[in-house]
Amino acid sequence: MAYQSILQVIERANHTRQYYLICPAPLAQALEMEKGETLDWVVEDKYTLRIQRTPPVNPTRRRGGGHER
């Protein structure tokens, strides 16, 4: 399966740029991705960018009934 995305650039008033690479919805659905997932971007060479999902971390329960941060 191959999906194409177009790199988008937002130029801010303070002369900084922010780049966005959108994951197509069919690809995200096929991978069962969820909002808020962490992804690692690995540059293998000038033409190869590998995106790797970070395994989910199970939150540990705190004792004493305190509020979660």
| Domain count along the chain | 1
Q: Does residue 45 lie within any of the structural domains?
A: yes
* Full residue range of the structural domain in which residue 23 is found: 8-53
Instruction: Please give the average per-residue pLDDT across 45-49, as a whole number.
Output: 95
Contact predicate 21/50, CB 8 Å: no
For the question of whether the overall pTM of this predicted structure is more than 0.85, the answer is: no
Q: Does residue 13 lie within any of the structural domains?
A: yes
Query: Mean of the per-residue pLDDT values for the chain?
Result: 84
Q: Does residue 67 lie within any of the structural domains?
A: no
Amino acid 48: pLDDT: 95
User: Sorting pLDDT into bands at 50, 70 and 90, what band is 8?
Assistant: very high
Amino acid 3: pLDDT: 84
Nearest one of 58, 45, 50 to 21, comparing CA atoms: 50
Q: Does residue 41 lie within any of the structural domains?
A: yes
27-43: pLDDT as tens digits: 999 999 999 899 999 99
